[in-house]
Structure 1
Amino acid sequence: MKTVTRAFLRYLPRRRSLSILQITGIACGVAAVIGMVFSARAALFSFSRAIEFLNGAATHSMERPAGPVDEALLAKLIHDPDVRSFSPVIDRRVRLENGEPVRLLGIDPFLDKTIRPKMFRPGGNTAQGLQGDRETLLSFLLDQKAVLMDEKTASRLTLMPGSIVRTSRGEFKLLDTFPSLSPEPLIVMDIGHVQRLFDLEGRIDRVDLILKNEHAFVSRHKEGFRIQSSRQKEQIYAGMLRAFRLNLEALSLIALFVGVFLIYNTTMFAVASRRKDAGILRSLGASRREVVSAFLTEILIFGLAGGLLGGLFGYVLSRFLTGLVGQTISNLYFFLRPEPLPWSWWIVVAGAFFGCSASVLGSVFPLLELMRLDPVRALQGRTAAGTSIKGTRKAALAGIATLILTIILLILSPVHVYIGFTAAFAFLFGASLLTGLLLALIAPLLRHIFGLLCGLPGRIAAGNIRQNLNRTAVAVAAFMVALSMSVGLGSMIGSFRQSLIWWMGTQLRADIYIGSTSEGFEVPERFYEEIREMPGLGGVDPYRNVQIPYRGKSVSVAAVRADVLQKYTRFGWLKGGNENWEPVKRGEVIVSESFLRSFKARMGEVITLEGNHGPARFRIAAAFYDYTTERGLIMMDRTTYLATFNDRRLNSIGVFMDPGDPRRQELLDEVKKRASAHGLPVFTLDQLHHRILSVFDSTFAVTRSMRVLAIIVAFFGIAGALLTLFIERQREFGIYRALGFSTRQVAAMTLMEGIGMGMVSFVLSIVVGTVLAFILIKVINVQSFNWTIFFYPPWSPYVLSGITAVLASAGAALYPIWKVFRTYPHMQLREE
């Protein structure tokens, strides 16, 4: 046994280039999985840390359903027997000079010490925070510009104690830093100074509480207040991230799917490259078990080496992907600068485990082939070509059965989104099993085309693809899956983008927008009143958006001027029409499609929201298409909103002008001038559309990265298949030479084989990718986000995949072609 194993392992240093290719292929597959999984974990862990910091030691938080809380409440809490500790908080956003958003937390340092004690610990070498000397504390309390900043953000911005921090709300003076407890950039300021900064005298955003008796406290204060436990808030945030987490898991599974394909192709290549050695050992008396065990040892060595390298590469990749995932969270939820997971040898161990496991799994069929190996045929260098068609038919039958299972799963997909994901993977797997049969059917057409282009070498190349289906079908399937992913994801993103453009054209039609819908940003109401009284303007729409809990989930409530939107916009109505603005003026509401699907609501249904004066009931008048939030949006007239929530704050203002007004530009310039005087950002309609699309494009950066990674992985699959064919057909090359084929003709034959497999992969990916896009758009997207994406298949993913197929397959053929020029014809003739 040891002799057979040593004989196998001596091959590795003799064929270093082939061994390196095999190890690199496994490493790429492992890196794809490790990189995606660890980047997703890092981003989600950072999100959890940010939420944990905001909650601190508080057991509950107390706030109005919408709008600020009168600080007179604090006097009652001081004497409340069920309150152990409390801390008033103002929680807002400002932008730094570089445009980066940062959370500004207004606190009372004496009361907040029990809620967020970690923040009051001394920081790094110079950071003393509010536990430092008395002078620092006095400056924090008395200086209206004094702030503290978390030490990581200060270090990244090269700010030291005494530095000036320039923000959208003016200049602050950095007193000191405190330990970075959250991946979210943070500035802390005395709550009294924040009240003056945001014109909130006598008002706060919320109160963080540590309660002794939850039930007694809630029963006394439930009227007009929203009291949530920290666990409830965490569950709401978890619900917000549910769809995002599912999509990250899906990307990880896609990486796993393609990675296992590559590893299987690599082990198949290893079997082909060692077939003759196995035949020699079998002819010398080695048993089948000894040969298979020796090969399995080699596979485990490859898996271990590739897994270790893949773990290292995957960790480096995860650091890059973590930033992209964090950017997506920042775009969708709140600004986050997630930190990659710290280096640990467990990452390499995980890579080694996955590399070995996937290698063993991928080598099952190659090992079965090795067990059935005929020593005579192996010594002759021939494959069991006759069994290829038989195996292809069996695989096709399994593929048809899998596609039938896919249809059943698609019918059941409304039950749960995981069923939709399973259906997508089942479809890809079923299509890959059918690849061999489809390749055999396409081969005659390929033979005719290649014959016209290259004559006899082209026809032979097409025939080689057909005769070696047990090799080529796997490589074509892997490449087809990668290209299908590129087409499917590209079509889904393109359709989503076109749907978003259509939506913007129906709802966002103001000439200019003032302010921002970002969390914590406000437009002064007095500015709104000033603009509304300007003569000549067509209409001014004040917009307010707040998050409130509804049936255990977080939904958005938006306040608008119904009369203005009725006149100047053309909403995309799912149910109802423009006439439904009339009941909205009378106190009814319209809801987004995502709200309708999420809560299974119906037209005419009455919903109950918790208002500042108790429960308020609203009838659903209509439903509209919306892509602002997957959690659901309830839109009501501003008059109704003020009566329900008594919240006069504004996020933004839309200014509409009548078409053809000769003073249009003059009036808009005046509005911009007044907005600039108040320090408010102004966006034209085109600028706003461009900004939204920029956020959209950055949100899908991770998905695009996985598309590229899948193509790279499949590239190695094509290269491995071509090398396998080269090794198995060395005897044939000698015959070609004896028949008068030149080196260039044999090289052209090899190139055409690579391009042929690439083009067949592309043709199949057009169909498979389009169906995959349909599943993603009509099944998974609806289940994940509860909104409709209209199917607009763009041409760019198809063109890009076609170019990629040609370049990748031609590039994968370069090394085999180099081997042809280097070894042809002498070695083959000697063997013959």
Structure 2
Amino acid sequence: MRVVTKSFLRYLTRRRSLVAVQLLGIACGVAAVIGMTLSARTALSGFSEAIRFLNGSATHQIERVAGPLDEKLIARLTGDPDVIAFSPVIDRKLRLSRGHQVRVLGIDPFLDRGIRPRMVQGQLNSAQNLVSFLTDRRTIIIDETLSRDTKIGAGQELQTDRGPFRVLGIFSNPAGEPLVLMDIAHAQALFGFEGYLDRVDLILKDASAFASRMGPGFHVESSTHRSGSLRTMLSAFRLNLEALSLLALFVGIFLIYNTAMFVVVSRRKDAGILRSLGASRHEIIASFLSEILLLGFVGGALGSSLGFLLSRLLIGLVGDTVSNLYFFLSPPPPTWSSGILAVGILLGCSASLLGSLFPLLELVRMQPVQALAGRVVHRANWSKVKHVAWLGGGFLVLSGLLLAASPFQVYLGFAGAFAFVTGVSMLTPVAVYALRSALKYSLGLLGLPGRVAGGNIGNNLDRTAIAIAAFMIALSLTIGLGSMISSFRQSLIWWMGTQLRGDLYVGSQSDVDVPEDFYEEIKRIPGVVGTDPYRNVRITYRGEPVFAASIDAGVLQKHTRFGWLQGGNENWNPVKEGAVVISESFARRFRARTGDTITLDGANGPVPLKIAAIFYDYTTEHGLVMMDRATYLRIFEDRTISSLGVFIDPANPQKTEILEAVQRKAAERGLPVLSQAGLRDSILGVFDSTFAVTRSMRAIAIVIAFFGITGALLTLFLERQREFGIYRALGFSSPQIASMTLLEGLGMGLLSFLFSLVVGTTLAVILIKVINLNSFNWTIFYHPSWEPYLLALVTAILASVVAALYPILKVYRVYPHMQIREE
């Protein structure tokens, strides 16, 4: 047994370059899964750790049902018998001069010691530091992560878009999220929030009794429930990330199949010799498995390392995406552990065993005389092709059933997508078989090498179909994901054109609220024909987080053209009378329809509201309830304005002067201003950064499939060395043999592209109409775009040509008499 195994393993040292290709292929498949999963889980773990650190020992938080808390609440908390400790908090964001955002906590250093003693412990022990923290508005404390990233220590200045701040000290932050602490009064002044709080963190004895005393208008939530609600907001995002990584592994299994098949083909004669010398069939199988597992072990270990490096690149993209779409998150980079290595090796070995199943069956069935014949060409078996096709058809039927049931459970949609990909992969051999004559004719137009190349692709389905299927899936991912992203972008542009029609937006994308007197001042400027005071706030509906927005219904009716599921701008009429309109995501999430009544918790208790209409919206997948400002003030008693849309008559000859006047008045108050074009560009910038992770996974899938094409061509080349030798002995030149090999690669690549046109477009429809709709509850309109298809074509050609280079080099390096010496 040891002699047989040594004979097999000795091959690995003799074919180092080919072994390197095999290892890289396995490593890429493992790295895709490790990188995506590790970055997603690290981000979620960093989020959980950040929440725990920020909560400290608080058991509950109290907020208004909508809007800020009046700081007069502190007097009530001081004498409440169920309050053990409390700390008022301002929780906002601050942009550094280099563009990155950090979280700012405004705290009372005396009250906060009972909730978060680790934050300020040791930094404010001296009287001098305490006095500076309380009296100097430009004094802050930063955590060690921010200090390390900015290379700023105690006594130095931190530059921000609000001016410089002097760093008083540095505190330890196990969560790794960049954090700035300042006195709560200074934070209120900085963000124009005097007299108000974002929340109060509490340690309570009896939460139920406390909540009943607080009465209506307040939302008392346990820290555990709050963390769970925030984690739920990320569930669809996390699910999509993990599905992407599994798709990459799916393509990787095809690659590993090619790797295993390559091992079988390259070792067939060695196996025959060993069998003729007395080695048993079981010894050959065990030795083959040893070689495959060794490749899986090393490839998995290498993949875990590459995946770890990939995760450190992706973690920033994941954090930025979460920050842009949900809430501020700056997760720490993943740390290496032996568990990552173990998972990588397990993935590599498991996928290698799975991929080697059919090649192993081929080796078991092979007779010694067959094996001694050398690397004979494996011809197509129509019976096997039909059986695989029937199985693929079954998977497609299963896919249809799962996709139809996906509205009831989003996981069924992903399962249906995987079943679809599996089904079309199994139909690839029959598709290649059906097109073999057309392919042979088409390539034959390029001469005899083309005719032979076309015949070889159709006659070696066990080798070519798997590589074509893997490459087709990768190209289909390129087309499907590209079409989905392009359609989403075009839908977003359409949405912005319907809703964002103001000339200027004051305070947009800022944590500084717009003063109400500024709103009244802008309304009085001659030439301003409309001002929309927009307020967006997170509320709770049926125990789930949603958003409420207040607007001026009359202004929007006159100056915008919302996209409605039914009706037109007449839908604003009932809104002006006290009704609400809801986003499509809210309607789908809670199964609400036009004419239904929803009940929201208001400042003075529950308030029933009639739904007037449903509109398309891409601001949040959790649902948005939009109402007129008068209704909002009546329900929530929150006069805060998040941003202000300013509309000016385009025919006004003094439009430029009016715009300048608004911008000047905003600058005097330190309020940021964006033009309509600037706001749209900013939103598209966020959109493009959001899909950076998706584009990364698409690129990885293409790299994996490239190795698959390379492996298939190498396998064909090894099987047909004697055939090549005979061709050359009969008068074929080396350039003709090289052309034959190149055309085989191009033929396989172009077949993959041809199939991906249908599969990729169907996959795009599944992603748009099923996965996104059920995951995020909004409609994306399909917009055909030539870019994903062009990218797929260019990728197919380049990858096919590059994959053929190594076999072509072998053609020129091996002499004909060496190739036919066994005849």
Q: Which TM bucket (shorter chain)? A: over 0.9
Q: Is the 8 A contact 1:147 1:187 kept in 2?
A: yes
1:192-271 mapped onto 2 (5 Å cutoff):
192-271=185-264
Inter-partner Cα distance in structure 2 for 1:194 and 1:34 = 41
Inter-partner Cα distance in structure 2 for 1:172 and 1:6 = 68
Instruction: Name the CA shift for 1:110/1:463 in 2 (closer, same or farther; >3 Å).
Output: same
Q: 1:456 aligns with which of 448, 465, 471?
A: 448
Shift of 1:377: 2.3
Q: Which runs of 5+ in 2 are unaligned?
A: none
Residue 59 (structure 1) aligned with residue 51 (structure 2): no
- Out of 168-177 and 600-609, give the one that drifted further: 168-177
Task: Provide, for residues 532-581 of structure 1, a one-character-per-residue CA deviation record: whole Å limited to 9, x for no partner.
Answer: 11111111111110000111211111111111100000000013321111
Q: Is the 8 A contact 1:754 1:809 kept in 2?
A: yes
Shift of 1:229: 0.7
Residue 733 (structure 1) aligned with residue 724 (structure 2): yes
Partner AA of 2:514 in structure 1: V
Inter-partner Cα distance in structure 2 for 1:229 and 1:426 = 41
DSSP 3-state at the match of 2:366: coil
DSSP 3-state at the match of 1:104: strand
Residue 755 (structure 1) aligned with residue 749 (structure 2): no
Inter-partner Cα distance in structure 2 for 1:170 and 1:61 = 31
Provide the residue aligned with 2:99 in structure 1.
99
Which segments of structure 1 move beyond 6 Å, counting only runs of 4 or more? none
Partner AA of 1:655 in structure 2: V
Shift of 1:676: 1.7
Q: Is the 8 A contact 2:90 2:106 kept in 1?
A: yes
Provide the residue aligned with 1:692 in structure 2.
683
Inter-partner Cα distance in structure 1 for 2:191 and 2:818 = 83
Provide the residue aligned with 2:762 in structure 1.
771
Instruction: Name the CA shift for 1:98/1:20 in 2 (closer, same or farther; >3 Å).
Output: closer
- Out of 536-545 and 186-195, give the one that drifted further: 186-195
Q: Is the 8 A contact 1:486 1:801 kept in 2?
A: yes
Provide the residue aligned with 1:650 in structure 2.
641
Provide the residue aligned with 2:525 in structure 1.
534
Task: Provide, for residues 118-145 of structure 1, a one-character-per-residue CA deviation record: whole Å limited to 9, x for no partner.
Answer: 2134xxxxxx423x32211121122222
Provide the residue aligned with 1:87 in structure 2.
87
Shift of 1:288: 1.2
Aligned length: 823
Q: 1:376 aligns with which of 366, 369, 374?
A: 369
- Out of 71-80 and 567-576, give the one that drifted further: 71-80
Q: Is the 8 A contact 1:541 1:565 kept in 2?
A: yes
Shift of 1:307: 1.1
Inter-partner Cα distance in structure 2 for 1:713 and 1:385 = 25
Provide the residue aligned with 2:14 in structure 1.
14
Task: Provide, for residues 49-94 of structure 1, a one-character-per-residue CA deviation record: whole Å limited to 9, x for no partner.
Answer: 2222232211111111122222222222122111111111122222
Task: Provide, for residues 694-731 of structure 1, a one-character-per-residue CA deviation record: whole Å limited to 9, x for no partner.
Answer: 11010000000001000000000000000001111111
Provide the residue aligned with 1:790 in structure 2.
781
Provide the residue aligned with 2:123 in structure 1.
129
Inter-partner Cα distance in structure 1 for 2:815 and 2:699 = 35
Inter-partner Cα distance in structure 2 for 1:222 and 1:471 = 72
Inter-partner Cα distance in structure 1 for 2:8 and 2:378 = 25
DSSP 3-state at the match of 1:282: helix
Inter-partner Cα distance in structure 2 for 1:336 and 1:183 = 10
Q: 2:557 aligns with which of 527, 550, 566?
A: 566
DSSP 3-state at the match of 1:787: coil
Q: Is the 8 A contact 2:158 2:166 kept in 1?
A: yes
Inter-partner Cα distance in structure 1 for 2:86 and 2:68 = 17
Inter-partner Cα distance in structure 1 for 2:515 and 2:102 = 20
Instruction: Name the CA shift for 1:369/1:69 in 2 (closer, same or farther; >3 Å).
Output: same
Shift of 1:809: 0.7
Inter-partner Cα distance in structure 2 for 1:338 and 1:88 = 25
Instruction: Name the CA shift for 1:478/1:640 in 2 (closer, same or farther; >3 Å).
Output: same
Provide the residue aligned with 1:125 in structure 2.
none
Shift of 1:172: 2.4
- Out of 396-405 and 383-392, give the one that drifted further: 383-392
Task: Provide, for residues 273-324 of structure 1, a one-character-per-residue CA deviation record: whole Å limited to 9, x for no partner.
Answer: 1111111112222221111111111111111111111111111111111111
- Out of 83-92 and 762-771, give the one that drifted further: 83-92
Provide the residue aligned with 2:515 in structure 1.
524
Q: 2:475 aligns with which of 475, 483, 486?
A: 483
Shift of 1:185: 2.3
Provide the residue aligned with 2:579 in structure 1.
588
Shift of 1:388: 2.9
Residue 44 (structure 1) aligned with residue 44 (structure 2): yes
Instruction: Name the CA shift for 1:201/1:791 in 2 (closer, same or farther; >3 Å).
Output: closer
Provide the residue aligned with 1:818 in structure 2.
809
Shift of 1:382: 5.1
Q: Is the 8 A contact 2:145 2:177 kept in 1?
A: no
Shift of 1:384: 6.8
RMSD over aligned Cα atoms = 1.4
Provide the residue aligned with 2:316 in structure 1.
323
Q: 1:349 aligns with which of 342, 360, 367?
A: 342
Inter-partner Cα distance in structure 1 for 2:479 and 2:191 = 48
Instruction: Name the CA shift for 1:198/1:351 in 2 (closer, same or farther; >3 Å).
Output: closer
DSSP 3-state at the match of 2:600: strand
Residue 473 (structure 1) aligned with residue 470 (structure 2): no
Inter-partner Cα distance in structure 1 for 2:753 and 2:514 = 52
Task: Provide, for residues 773-792 of structure 1, a one-character-per-residue CA deviation record: whole Å limited to 9, x for no partner.
Answer: 10110001111000000011
- Out of 578-587 and 670-679, give the one that drifted further: 670-679
Inter-partner Cα distance in structure 2 for 1:398 and 1:374 = 28
DSSP 3-state at the match of 2:381: helix
Inter-partner Cα distance in structure 2 for 1:95 and 1:4 = 65
Q: 2:330 aligns with which of 325, 337, 346?
A: 337
Q: Which runs of 5+ in 1 are unaligned?
A: 122-127
Inter-partner Cα distance in structure 2 for 1:382 and 1:176 = 72
Inter-partner Cα distance in structure 2 for 1:696 and 1:29 = 27
Inter-partner Cα distance in structure 2 for 1:152 and 1:363 = 47
User: How high is the TM-score relative to the length of structure 2?
Assistant: 0.98
Instruction: Name the CA shift for 1:222/1:274 in 2 (closer, same or farther; >3 Å).
Output: farther
Shift of 1:37: 1.2
User: How high is the TM-score relative to the length of structure 1?
Assistant: 0.97
Inter-partner Cα distance in structure 2 for 1:653 and 1:297 = 68
Q: 2:630 aligns with which of 639, 646, 653?
A: 639
1:93-172 mapped onto 2 (5 Å cutoff):
93-121=93-121, 128-130=122-124, 132-172=125-165
- Out of 659-668 and 719-728, give the one that drifted further: 659-668
Shift of 1:346: 2.3
Residue 677 (structure 1) aligned with residue 668 (structure 2): yes
DSSP 3-state at the match of 1:286: coil
Shift of 1:826: 3.2
Inter-partner Cα distance in structure 1 for 2:756 and 2:424 = 10
